A and B are shown apart, each in its own frame.
Chain A
Amino acid sequence: MTEGSLNLKKYLQMIEKRKKIVIFTTAVFLFLSAVCVLWKGWPALYSAVCSIRVEKEISYGSFFDRALPKFGDSIETRELIITGYDLIAETAKKLSLVPPSADKDNPELALTVFELRKKISVKRKKDTDILNITVTDTDPGFAQKAANMLAEAYSSYCERQHEKQLDEVIKYIEDELKTAGKKFTDSEDEFNQFSQANKLLSMEQQSGNLLLREKEVEDKIRDDSDKGRLQKLKEDLNEVHEQINSLMKKKFRYDSLKRTAESDRNMVSFLEKKKQEAMIRKAEKPEGVEVVEAAALPSVPINRSHVLVILITGVISGFILGIFIALIAGINGRSVNIPEEIGKITDIKILGIIPEADSYGTVPGITGLKGKINDPDAAARFISMVSHYAPKSLAAEKFRQLKSSIQLTEKDTQAKTIAVTSSSRGEGKSMVSVNLALNFAQAGIRTLLVGSDLRNPVFAKIFDLEDGPGLTDILLGSCPWKDAVKTVTDMVMGKIRMEDVMISPGLDSLDIILSGTLQTNSADLIHSSKFRDFIDDVKKEYEVIIFDSSPVLITADAAILGRYSDTLLLVYNAEAASKDMLKRAISQLEHVGINIKGLILNKVSPDVVSEDSLSDSLPEKPDESERMNGQKEKPIDFAAEPASFTLDITDPEPAAPVPEVKKNIFKILIPVILILLIVFLIIWKKEMLFPSKGVLSEQVTENKTIEKSGPVKTEIKEVKLKEEITEAENTEVPQPKPVVEETPDNIKKEPVNTVEAVETTEAEKFEYQEGRYPYSIYLGSFKTIQRAQKAVDIYSRKGLFSYPVKVDLKEKGIWYRIYSGSYPDKETADNHLAEIKVKDAEIKNTVYACYIGSFRSNAKLRENMELLKEKNFFPYVAADDSNNSYALFAGAFLTENGAAELSEELENAGVLNRVVKR
């Protein structure tokens, strides 16, 4: 029957038996996920995709390739540009999310852009030059419009950019042309002057003449031998040589001048050609951007599947968890119930194995129980009197077997006294004794059931009998025993109605004596000799007397009853009592010389019971009434029947504890489920709150600070943060421009191939005039940066933006001072000081600061600030409404030395800056 191993079938049975658990957990998880979905609202989201094609790089010919940095942007850069502040702001204006008049630094605009940006994503289609602009929104129309607008905005941006760049190129070419033309004129003039001055008409002829003359003179010298003439001839030769040399020199110069003039001419013609090309290109439509596919109106929300996925996930996880729990419960319940294990403890014969309540609780529409299922008492009674109410159930069958085996072992004695006990409470001995008595009665045997468990009377409840005199009263002599006997007549006075009585025969053969009035010394009563007399008396009247005895480990009653009675049965429920308890109970009884006739295993899981080999080993003696019935149908195995309702009350004893194993499972399960729930909720909440609220508030504070800082005039010399910044600021930071020379004759240049970055005219507007904001509010000093940061946090929570400044006070060590704001004069600072109401705050004349740069765009400013914060600097901003820019500073110092130190630190971190008087 039990080989210790469980095969797959058993597992399936286990799960099937506990499918309520599985269904329950599945339902709970489905419910939870549904609640989550509903709670979050989950509006339908639509996404519209607009595809645009871009050229990776636009070539302007080899000349410009060398002369300019790459003109066309990489795809990645384009992605960034599209999601950049300016384009989105433009789109927002076009979508009339903000008034078109809103300027760049309008906080409302910034907010809108921020919100809009979250809805936009740009992705490159793999291995193509196509960018997909995706806009996701609850409104499909909006999504479509926004996607198309953004594409349009980018397209026009590219056009503008294209035009602007070409304009610059043309301008550069023109400038260059001017220079080259002048240079060409100059060199030509020089060449002409030179040839004119030296009368250099024809170099070949002149040199030929000279060489001819030289030959003549040399011939004369060879032919003439006259010394005087020779002398003269030699002089002539020298003269000719000189002439030749001078001509040679002139020739070199001539050639050089000629070459220069030619090269200048070439340059000019080249430039003119290029200029033509650029003009043509300008006239062309830029190839850069082309809308491949405009966004269509999305009709199917994209997140419907999300909802479904969540629900399905909920169901699946619930299902899995349910199966898991069912298996645990099944294995747990099973392992302890294997009769073999009992066999290891004791060699007392197992007389009966009674299935657990569920198995006979699952009887659909049993007669007499109709309409009573809702009454817990009736249900409990049904369980307790299962042999009466469901005589064909597995449990009743097992009780019948038990009865038969007792009858067979006790053939000889006329009157049988049977004591039923257990090791501890809650093992179901009362139920066993009731059902045993019922089975005897059903066989027409006059049976008396005695509630001798005086401490825990249950029969009155099971049979719904009126309290009346009982065993204690009989033993005390206050009532003759016959008056205390309760019969079926008394039962029908209670909740057991006639129709209940008629379900099974034999109830009139069963008489009951209740425990009687509770006495404090009830234990002594069992010990008294009166009890012996009582047993002798009732033996005369009844064929079978069954005593429900108190548990062995609680009182000695069981031992006494065991001595008086012919048969002592020990009920053992593995779920309610440990094996140790069973061992102790047995040894305790055996110690006083009582022979336990048999063990009854109660609440054994039905699969163990149904395959119980015990029934085979028992001498088969089919029940008489069964035979008379002529009913040949097999007893219904209710374990196999689908559960129609559950009854958890197996044992009517009020003190019955929840079976330990089950309790343990619940102990573990409940917290686990709770924890899961809480974790789930936390994750949910965070996800919900974090992205929207957190950033928003941050932005608001920043905007506030900017507004507060007041007017600032800034000057910019070098705006160069790290490369990253420049890249991110693609739209803002000016492209390095070709050299513009105001005095063209100043510099001589080789063919231009390098360009220096010098501030442009545009940047000059940002000039920061020093000494405009010398005052700050000093809030306090801290020894460590952590504490300073904490203070800054606290101030910012109060809506006051502040920044720590590190100062080295030599002997006193390094301190962090916290300042707030920057003010043009003491009065403004005073006013603000009164406003913020910070204790011990004072105004300081912090003249020196490290100036990092000026920005027009709020977004860029913030990006830079974030970047600095990442590097553990504490930048702050002073606004300048005269030229709509913000100056970014770090530190505020009373002395220039302090500022210089910070400047160095910034420099080391790769941040360009300079010390200024703020």
Chain B
Amino acid sequence: MVRFSDIIKTKGKQDDRKKQPEPVREEEWFRFSDSHLFKSRNSDIEPPDTEPEKPKRKVSDFEITGYYKSLLKRAQETGRAVKDNKPVVPSAVLADLHGIVERDLAEPLYEYAMKQKPDDDLCVHTVNVVLTSLTIGSGLKYDIKMMLRLGLAAFYENIGTYKIPERILASSETLSDHEMKVIKEHSETAFDSLLSLGERYRWLAETARSIHERSDGSGYPDGIKGDEIPELASVIGISDMYCAMISDRPYRKRIKRTDAVNYITGEGKDKFPSKIVKTFIKEISLIPVNTVVKLNTGVIARVISVNRKHPLNPTVETVYGSSGSKPGKEQIDLANNPLLYIAEVIDDPEDL
């Protein structure tokens, strides 16, 4: 049971740390928490055979919003720091991530984030990528250390972007070659920034650098292929791609979530290792959270949580009744109602 006080405590602690940066202590904590949590986690995961659906903890909305806002705040801070050419401070982020991972909040947070209004703000995007990556990471059964690394790398994935001039990012025109080059440079900018954190964080810098690499060698900056790309980079890369597709950009409208998934499993299939893609589909599901669907009864409903065993039968919340009336928000688990099924995917929720 997670208590609210815990969160407050953690937050308070992190706040303290931030005021008096002590990188050495940070690392000790990091290492400590690492080994500690690894053990405890291990015993939890061990019997996969039975694999009962992870006992769904009752997660309070307050907990979720708290973490979400905290992450958003960290992202904004980082953005400012990068723009001002100040060193980034991973410790605070790590603290948040630790809390999320330990409490298994990645998925509810991801669901929460997906329900937010799509925003092309960089910080929102960063948070989305972090949460999506973490969700995939849990699907890949990463241990806590990997999860933290994944989250951290996802968080810093696009710090290079903050240095890109506003006008280029906001441009709805086709970018010139030079501008394209500037954008593509952001991977290396991030790499340089993160290298400044020291040799301990070299993996972070390298991962961040490879986010835009693709398995088929079509990515940048180095155009490396297949196994040369760190796995974490692929996970973050696929998340980044997905999150970018489902949000509006100055130069294009967002894409339907199901279509984005379809794209990634189809044309995008060769850009990422198939293991990652599979996990992606499994976790994000074929009908991702917040997709508005029409049931075979004619009822319009919104997907509120996916079912990994029955990707086509998620839990939905009714929006409109079959006759157009607006019933009370009723939650239906389609997997338990075999006679109900999704007849049609309508679109993203904002139209409603």
* B-binding residues in A (CB < 8 A): 443-445, 466, 480, 482, 487-490, 492-493, 497-499, 501-502, 505-509, 624-625, 628-629
Contact = CB atoms under 8 A, between A and B. Distances in A.
B313 A508 contact: yes
Contacts of B286: 488-489, 492, 498, 501, 508
B339 to A, nearest CB: 5
A497 B268 CA distance: 13
A493 B277 contact: yes
B296 A628 contact: yes
B265 interface: yes
B338 A502 contact: no
B278 interface: yes
Interface stretch (B30-38, B69-77, B230-238, B341-349): B341-349
B258 interface: yes
Given A489-B281, A505-B341, A625-B339, A498 B313 contact: no
Nearest to A487: B311
A628 B312 contact: no
Contact of A628 (B49, B282, B339, B344): B339
Given A444-B339, A489-B286, A505 B278 contact: no
A505 B312 contact: yes
B264 to A, nearest CB: 10
A502 B339 contact: no
A508 B311 contact: yes
Contacts of B345: 502
B281 A624 contact: no
Contact of A502 (B277, B313, B342): B342
Nearest to A495: B266
Contacts of B340: 628
B340 to A, nearest CB: 7
13 contacts: A489-B311, A490-B278, A493-B281, A498-B258, A505-B343, A506-B338, A506-B341, A507-B312, A508-B286, A508-B312, A624-B339, A628-B297, A628-B340
Contacts of A508: 286, 309-313
Contacts of B313: 508
A887 B57 CA distance: 129
B265 A492 contact: yes
Given A466-B274, A625-B341, A509 B310 contact: yes
Q: Nearest 6 pairs between A and B by C-beta?
A: A444-B338, A505-B341, A508-B312, A498-B262, A508-B310, A489-B281
Nearest to A498: B262
B17 interface: no
Given A489-B286, A498-B286, A445 B311 contact: no
Most buried by B among A443, A489, A499, A629: A489
Contacts of B337: 444
A488 B312 contact: yes
Nearest to B281: A489
A3 B277 CA distance: 59
A498 B274 CA distance: 17
A882 B343 CA distance: 109
B149 interface: no
Contacts of A487: 311
Given A466-B274, A505-B342, A628-B297, A492 B281 contact: yes
Nearest to A492: B265
B310 A489 contact: no
Contacts of B51: 482
Given A489-B281, A625-B296, 19 more contacts: A444-B337, A466-B274, A482-B51, A488-B286, A489-B278, A489-B286, A489-B311, A492-B281, A498-B258, A498-B286, A499-B262, A501-B286, A502-B343, A502-B345, A505-B343, A507-B312, A508-B309, A508-B313, A509-B338
Contacts of A629: 296
Contacts of B342: 502, 505
A631 B26 CA distance: 65
Nearest to B51: A482
A432 to B, nearest CB: 23
Nearest to B344: A502
Contacts of A482: 49, 51
A445 B313 CA distance: 13
B273 to A, nearest CB: 12
B269 interface: yes
B134 interface: no
Interface in B325-352: 337-345
Contacts of A625: 296, 339, 341
Contacts of A502: 342-345
Contacts of B278: 489-490, 493
